[in-house]
Structure 1
Amino acid sequence: MSMKPLEFDRRYGELDVVVSAFVGQDPSVTEETPPPALEAYLRHTWHTRPWALSVAEQQLREYARNPPGRLRLRLGEFYPVPDVGLPEAGTQSWLFEMADHIKRSIESGDVPPPATPRTHWEWHARFGELGQFLGGWFSQDMPDEFADHDAAVQDYKASTDPQLVARLVGEIHELLALDLDDHEYVMGVAELGMEMEPPAPLSVGAWLESVAEHLAVARPDYGQER
Structure 2
Amino acid sequence: MSMKPLEFDRLYGELDQVLRAYEGQPADDGADRPSDALLAYMRHTWHTRPWALSVAELQLRAYARNPPGRLRLRLGEFYPVPDVGLAESEIQDWLFRLADHLKQSVESGNVPPTAEPQTHWEWHARFPELAQLLGGWFSQDMPDEFTDHDAAMRDYSATTDAQLVARVVGELHELLTLGLEEADYALAVAELGMEVDPPAPYSPSGWLAKVADGLGGFRAEYGPPAAGTQ
Normalization by structure 1: what TM-score? Answer: 0.98
Read off the aligned partner of 2:99 and give its amino acid letter: A
Where does residue 119 of structure 2 map in the other structure? 119
Read off the aligned partner of 2:115 and give its amino acid letter: A
1:183 & 1:43 partners in 2: Cα distance?
23
Where does residue 206 of structure 1 map in the other structure? 206
Where does residue 110 of structure 1 map in the other structure? 110
Where does residue 59 of structure 1 map in the other structure? 59
Where does residue 48 of structure 2 map in the other structure? 48
2:132 & 2:31 partners in 1: Cα distance?
37
Shift of 1:218: 1.7
Read off the aligned partner of 1:181 and give its amino acid letter: E
Where does residue 147 of structure 1 map in the other structure? 147
| Structure 1 position 194 matched with structure 2 position 198 | no
2:160 & 2:204 partners in 1: Cα distance?
22
User: SS state of the match for residue 50, structure 2?
Assistant: coil
Aligned pairs (5 A) from 1:12-91: 12-91=12-91
Where does residue 178 of structure 1 map in the other structure? 178
2:218 & 2:75 partners in 1: Cα distance?
51
Kindly report the root-mean-square deviation, in angstroms, between the aligned alpha carbons of the 2 structures: 1.0
Shift of 1:162: 0.4
Shift of 1:83: 1.1
User: SS state of the match for residue 219, structure 2?
Assistant: coil
Read off the aligned partner of 1:46 and give its amino acid letter: W
Shift of 1:92: 0.7
How many residues align? The count is: 226
- How has the CA–CA distance of structure 1 residues 148 and 93 changed in structure 2, closer, same or farther, with 3 Å as cutoff? same
Aligned pairs (5 A) from 1:88-107: 88-107=88-107
Read off the aligned partner of 1:194 and give its amino acid letter: M
Shift of 1:224: 6.7
Read off the aligned partner of 1:78 and give its amino acid letter: F
% identical aligned pairs: 68
1:43 & 1:142 partners in 2: Cα distance?
33
